Amino acid sequence: MVTAVRPLPVHRVRPAPRTAALRHLGPNWYAPVMGTAIVATAGAGLPGPTAALRPALTALWALALLALLAVLLARALHWLHHRDQARAHLLDPAVAPFHGCLAMALLAVGGGALTLGADWIGIGAAVALDAVLFTAGTAVGITAAVAVPYLMVVRHRIEPSGITPVLLLPLVAPMVSAALGPLLLPHLPPGQARPTLLFGCLALFGLSLLGTLLVLPLVFGRLVTVGPLPLALTPALFLVLGPLGQSTTAVGNFADAAPSALNTRLAVLYGVPVIGFALLWLALATAMAVRARRRGMGFSMTWWALTFPVGTCVTGAEGLARHTGLVAFDALAVALYALLVVAWATAAAHTVRGLVSGELLAGPRRAPAAPRPTTARTR
């Protein structure tokens, strides 16, 4: 009896397509764009002589613009070549809310065009760029604010332990539009355009604020009844600061757009209590982040949650400083901005390192496949 081992058929290994690295690129990658843009624009409003900082801040805005273009291209390729994964992101309750980040990235870069970009590209080009990005960002933000809650009700099944501050993301986007829309008012022709935009921003303010008031109690209730978030998700607690700081910024910009004693009082009466609650939540989120870090929390893209939301508190404090004249709010803005810069530098360094190593774009790890058994024939 002779036993001969049949050689296994040779399969040619097809080279992986160049877009394979983008398969797991989710909508959360717009967060670095938002975080970079807010560092630039928030720095432009700091008290004191900041003229020396403007070239650096403008360069940072330009970096955010380039990052926005890069992520837009990468996400377009993702939808083109990995449509199944893109649809899976929409149906994943943990990922779907991040689709609101696209709107906020567009709006943040657009607002920076007027605040800083005009220094380099001129006021005409800055207004045109902001108008395009504001219109697109507002449309995407309203769509996300409707579509994501719809999916939560119809398709998603969220357990109590799955309720996290990430659910706030699609609801914050209209508030960003409400805060940045008044910047365009002086550049609109007189007549119906200006009041239409202003009242539209007020409607977006209400949309976002009332939506946040529905979700925020669920988030705090989850923390109290279920316990702390998983270690990797702990930085998401800082997302609660987004609607708080951004709404304070919005009412301040409303008062600037329609100056009057009444509007200034309303901005202060709203902004001071809300920024006070924001500081309370900042202390709570910081304590939870320190606890998670001590327990082994490593870097993930959720660390970018420490940038844009904190930046909105900076711009909110700057608005309160303008309308109250209190040095205390100037000091608060500077202190929060220092925290913002440290958080941005930390997240940016880890992100660049993760991109170079390929770890951030790698999919979830799977167990290695078992070796294929060798077949034999006896004759």
Q: Which residues pair with 378 in a beta bridge?
A: 3
- Given this model, what pLDDT does residue 313 score? 97
Longest Cα–Cα distance in the chain: 104
Q: Which CATH number fits domain 21-359: 1.10.287.610, 1.10.3720.10, 1.50.10.150, 3.30.365.10?
A: 1.50.10.150
Is the Cβ–Cβ distance between 104 and 34 less than 8 Å?
Answer: yes
Give the span between the Cα atoms of 50 and 46, in whole angstroms.
7
pLDDT tens by residue, the chain, 379 residues: 444 445 545 444 444 456 777 888 899 999 999 999 999 999 999 998 778 899 999 999 999 999 999 999 999 999 998 999 989 999 899 999 999 999 999 999 999 999 999 999 999 999 999 999 999 999 999 999 999 999 999 988 888 888 999 999 999 999 999 999 999 999 999 889 999 999 999 999 999 999 999 999 999 999 999 999 999 999 999 999 999 999 999 999 999 998 889 899 999 999 999 999 999 999 999 999 999 999 999 999 999 999 999 999 999 999 999 999 999 999 999 999 999 999 999 999 999 999 998 888 876 554 344 444 444 444 4
Q: How many angstroms separate the Cα of 286 from the Cα of each of 235, 239, 278?
A: 8, 12, 12
- Given this model, what pLDDT does residue 22 score? 84
Give the span between the Cα atoms of 134 and 258, in whole angstroms.
20
Q: Which helix (H) or strand (E) holds 9?
A: none
Give the span between the Cα atoms of 136 and 107, in whole angstroms.
8
Listed by start position, the domains of the chain span: 21-359
**242, amino acid identity:** G
- Given this model, what pLDDT does residue 363 score? 63
Sequence-distant (6+) residues with CB within 8 A of 236 are 164, 165, 166, 229, 302, 305
- Given this model, what pLDDT does residue 18 score? 64
- Given this model, what pLDDT does residue 126 score? 97
C-alpha torsion sign, points 175, 179, 185, 187? negative
Q: Which residues pair with 158 in a beta bridge?
A: none
- Reduced to 3 states (helix: H, G, I; strand: E, B; else coil), residue 301 is helix
- Given this model, what pLDDT does residue 45 score? 93
Give the span between the Cα atoms of 118 and 61, in whole angstroms.
11
- The DSSP code for 377 is E
* ∠ Cα 227 231 234 (to 5°): 75
Give the span between the Cα atoms of 84 and 295, in whole angstroms.
36
